[in-house]
């Protein structure tokens, strides 16, 4: 895999802490528990790489992983916790929306959605924030192993139809960290985004 040599780079919780926008970045976003850490780990073949983002106190942080010189995977804070204090939520919204809308080195976003619960309001919020940039989004419908082939195919089709109308720069596929369905497909696309 092109992601074989991924290492932890840095973690930030304020916009001013972001590393200089010199490289090429791909950001991973998703509702908490959708399978984002597992997807990052599957794509990088590193069982505990994304574990860092789950460290208590770091769940609101943006974590950077380096893939070789000047190329980064960026793990954005998971969203959708039931009860988050308004202050924290406002900080999250400011951090995420500003990062997504203004980050020059950001090439595209991978949006992680549990195939059984796609397109939640916050998923749509992420798409709306990113839409103005014109940059591509790739959706991974994770945990595809939890559904039958027919059920998964139906949801894939519905999500594709919705996204075609609302976000033309968006592609979508089924994914499973458990069976590794779609891992090679996703890695190939992200490799082209990174110019690898």
20 versus 83: smaller Cβ distance to ligand GDP = 83
What's the per-residue H, E or C state across the chain?
A: CCCCCCEEEEEECCHHHCCCCCCEEEEEEEECCCCHHHHHHHHHCCCCHHHHHHCCCCCCCEEEEECCCCEEEEECCCECCCCCCHHHHHHHHHHHHHHHHHCCCEEEEEEEEECCCCCCHHHHHHHHHHHCCCCCEEEEEECHHHCCHHHHHHHHHHHHHHHHHHCCCEEEEECCCCCCCCHHHHHHHHHHHCCC
55 versus 192: smaller Cβ distance to ligand GDP? 55
Q: How far is the CB of 165 from ligand GDP (least distance, A)?
A: 26
Quote the least distance from Cβ 180 to ligand GDP, whole Å: 9
Q: Least distance from C-beta 130 to ligand GDP, angstroms?
A: 18
Which residues contact ligand GDP (rule: CB under 6 A)? 30, 32-38, 78, 142-143, 145-146, 176-178
> Closer to ligand GDP at the Cβ: 52 or 196?
52
């Amino acid at each position: 895999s092109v992601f074989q040599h991924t290492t932890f780079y840095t973690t930030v919780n304020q916009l001013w802490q972001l590393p200089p926008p010199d490289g090429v970045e791909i950001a991973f976003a998703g509702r908490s528990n959708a399978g984002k850490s597992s997807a990052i780990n599957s794509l990088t073949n590193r069982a505990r790489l994304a574990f860092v983002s789950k460290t208590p106190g770091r769940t609101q942080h943006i974590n950077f992983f380096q893939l070789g010189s000047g190329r980064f995977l960026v793990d954005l804070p998971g969203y959708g916790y039931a009860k988050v204090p308004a202050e924290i939520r406002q900080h999250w919204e400011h951090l995420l929306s500003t990062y997504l809308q203004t980050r020059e080195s950001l090439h595209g976003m991978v949006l992680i959605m549990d195939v059984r619960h796609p397109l939640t309001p916050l998923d749509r919020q992420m798409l709306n924030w990113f839409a103005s940039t014109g940059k591509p989004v790739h959706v991974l419908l994770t945990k595809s192993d939890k559904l039958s082939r027919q059920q998964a195919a139906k949801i894939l089709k519905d999500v594709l139809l919705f996204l075609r109308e609302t976000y033309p720069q968006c592609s979508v596929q089924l994914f499973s960290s458990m069976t590794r369905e779609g891992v090679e497909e996703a890695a190939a696309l992200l490799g082209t985004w990174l110019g690898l």
